[in-house]
Amino acid sequence: MDPLTLLDDWLADGTLRPSSQVEYRREVGRWLAWCTMQEPPVDPYDCGIEHVAAWCGTFLTEQLDGRLFNDPSALAHVAEHHPDAALTHDRRVTAVNRFHKAAKDRGLIRLMPDLTMLRSGLDRAAGSPRRLTMDERTALLLCIGQWGPDNARHYLRDRVVALLLLEGLRPAEVTRVDSRHLYPIEHPYPTYEVRAPDYDFEAVGKKHVLNKVTARAVNAYLPYRVKPAPGVHALVLGQGGRAITTDYPNKLIRSICSPDPTLDHVTADAVAHTGFTDTPPAEG
C-alpha cells in the first residue's frame, strides 16, 4: 500500500474526530510531500527521527532565531519564547506518529521511529490540569502496557516514569526520585516506599507506597538501568547516566498516549493529578 493510500485508508476508519481528520490529512500530506522532494527521496516507511526533525524544522525557521533545529536546546528555545508554535509543532509530531502507528497496524512497517525527543514538553492548556475520567485512565493504562521495545529502547524506564506519575508524583519529582531512598517493604504486599524529593534530592516529601503494578515495573527496570554518572543517584536515568530532564515526563506521556485519539489532551500533570486509586470525576 503506498503512503497516500494508507493516509486515505487510515482517516476513513472513523476513529478520529472530523477536525482531527482535517488536521492530520494536512500535516501528513505535507510530510509525505517533503519526503518525495528530498534528494534522494525519503521512504516514509523507512525513516528515522532525524528525517522528521528536518521536516519539522522547516516550519520553525522564524521561531529558531537563526539556530539550527538539531538538538534539544533549539526546541527548548522555541518552547520558551514561542509556546504557541511549540504546541503546533507537537501536534504535527503527533500526526506523523499516528500515521506510523497506522502503518504498523497494517503490517507495512515493523518498528515505529521513537519521536519522543521531538516533543516540546509543554502542557497543552494553561491552568490546573483536568483529572482523567475512569475511561481515560483505563485507556492510559492500556497505552502504558503496550509501550514496549518497538516504541523505545528504554521502554522499561519509560513505563516506570508513567507509573510514578500515576502514583501522584509530579513530573519534576519523578526526575528526582533517589535510588538510595527506594525502601523495599513486604506488607501489605512486596513493594517499595518512596518519598517525593526536594530539589536537593532529599527524600523529605509525601510518602508513597507503590502500587503492585509500579513495583513490578521498577523490578523489571532495575537490572537494565544504565550505569549512573559519578555522583548521580536518580532512579530514572537518561543519556550519559544522568537524571532525565524535567520536561521528559510530559514528552513521554504525549508519546505513550499518541496512538489513542481520546487521550489527545493528556499531560504528565493530568496523570499525576489522577492517580491509581482516586476515583476520577464521572464523564458528562
Q: Residue 208: what are its φ and ψ, rounded to 5°?
A: -125, 120
Structural domains of the chain, count: 2
- 138 lies in the same domain as 269: yes
Q: Residue 161: what are its φ and ψ, rounded to 5°?
A: -60, -50
Question: Average pLDDT of the chain?
Answer: 87
Cβ atoms 19, 115 nearer than 8 A: no
What is the arithmetic mean of pLDDT over 174-191?
Answer: 89
- 68 lies in the same domain as 11: yes
pLDDT-based confidence at residue 181 (cuts at 50, 70, 90): confident
- 263 lies in the same domain as 170: yes
Residue 90 forms part of a structural domain: yes
Q: Residue 207: what are its φ and ψ, rounded to 5°?
A: -80, 135
Residue 280 forms part of a structural domain: no
Question: Which residue, of 118, 147, 177, is where some domain finishes?
Answer: 118
Taking only the tens place, the pLDDT of each residue in 199-217 is: 666 667 778 899 999 999 9
Taking only the tens place, the pLDDT of each residue in 27-84 is: 999 999 999 999 999 999 999 999 999 999 999 988 888 888 877 788 888 888 888 8
- 170 lies in the same domain as 265: yes
Question: What's the domain range around 112?
Answer: 3-118
Question: Which residue, of 88, 118, 148, is where some domain finishes?
Answer: 118
pLDDT surpassing 60 at residue 127: no
> What's the pLDDT at 159?
97
> What's the pLDDT at 284?
45
pLDDT surpassing 80 at residue 126: no
> What's the pLDDT at 201?
61
Q: The CATH number of the domain where 242 resides is what?
A: 1.10.443.10
Question: Which residue, of 91, 118, 145, is where some domain finishes?
Answer: 118
Among the listed ranges 156-160, 186-190, 194-198, 248-252, which one has the minimum average pLDDT value? 194-198
pLDDT surpassing 80 at residue 8: yes
Question: Exposed/middle/buried for 39, CB within 10 Å: 0-12, 13-18, 19+?
Answer: exposed
**Is-cis flag, bond preceding 280, omega within 30?**
no
- 111 lies in the same domain as 138: no
Q: What is the length of the chain?
A: 284
- 109 lies in the same domain as 239: no
> What's the pLDDT at 189?
86
C-alpha 221/C-alpha 207 separation (Å) is 21
